Amino acid sequence: MTYKYITIVTFTLLSACTQEPQETDKINKSPTNSVPEVNHSNCQFDYIKSISNKYIQQTLADNCMRRSTTQPTVNHKNWTIR
């Protein structure tokens, strides 16, 4: 009786491992040259939200987060420890 259950479990596991992934898991990846340029107008939330291709949308959002926005200060203060 246990041999029957072991055979069923083995068959189930092997058939589950050989199935191809579902189509919903695949992301439509297109070349990165179609990603818009990173600038202030393209990095607005409304513009990023309006892009229908999820790969381009995510790539642009990542690039906007990585852009450097630091600017040098105009008035430098000399801080000292007393």
pLDDT at 23: 56
pLDDT at 28: 57
Is residue 42 a contact partner of residue 60, using CB atoms and an 8 Å limit? yes
pLDDT at 25: 44
58-78 confidence digits (pLDDT tens): 999 999 998 876 777 778 777
For residue 66, count CB atoms less than 10 angstroms from its CB and return exposed for 0-12, middle for 13-18, buried for 19 or more.
Answer: exposed
Angle at 29 between CA 23 and CA 30, to 5 degrees: 140
Number of Cβ atoms within 10 Å of the Cβ of 38: 14
30-53 confidence digits (pLDDT tens): 555 588 999 999 999 999 999 999
pLDDT band for 82, please (50, 70, 90 cuts). confident
